[in-house]
Amino acid sequence: MSINRTTASANRSARNPKSQDLCTFAYSDGRRCRNLRRPGHSHLCTAHARKEAQALAGDQAGEDIAYHLSRDYISACDLSSALGRLFSAVAHGHIKPKTAATLAYLGQTLVQTLTLAQHEYINAFGTESWRKTIRSSFAPAQPQPESSSKSVPLPASGRDFALQLESIAKKS
């Protein structure tokens, strides 16, 4: 008889898992998810853990796109980079296609205003100021490391170059 009681007890606990083994997701009406936690996840079942990961990936994709569009001036390169990240996010399923279509339409509108903004800026501040603004919207160039070998300046003419090559060959 003790075997039957043990088996019955095991069946009951399989049907009624402990509350610490259950998903902690709460629905808007206050009910809790009754699925078992996903192995390796601290508090959610497989379905809710997947939804959480998708939401986090969508948030990160939004931050990546917004980064390129958050400066005082948005260049065509900034728009191109943002749209590239948008395409990637849609392809990976991080952003819904309907949202992407809206963002792409807004990007198209921004592209159409670039020439108007350029014309307006140049008329107000001049061409050189426009160029400085464009240059400042890009990250500064990283300094190149010093070369250990001595660099020889290029000769002024092709004939001088040929003579320099001959002298190097004779030394070797």
Residue-range domain boundaries for the chain: 17-136
Residues 36-73 as b or e (16 or more Cβ within 10 Å = b): ebbeeeeebbeebbeeeeeeeebeebbebbeebeeeee
Q: How far apart are CA 62 and CA 56, in angstroms?
A: 10
pLDDT of 171: 67
Per-residue pLDDT tens digits for 58-88: 788 878 777 777 766 677 777 888 888 888 8
pLDDT of 1: 46
Across 17-21, 104-108, 168-172, the highest mean pLDDT is recorded for 104-108
pTM assigned to the model: 0.49
Q: How far apart are CA 133 and CA 120, in angstroms?
A: 13
Taking the CA atoms of residue 52, residue 56, residue 57 and residue 63 in that order, the dihedral angle to the nearest 10 degrees is 160
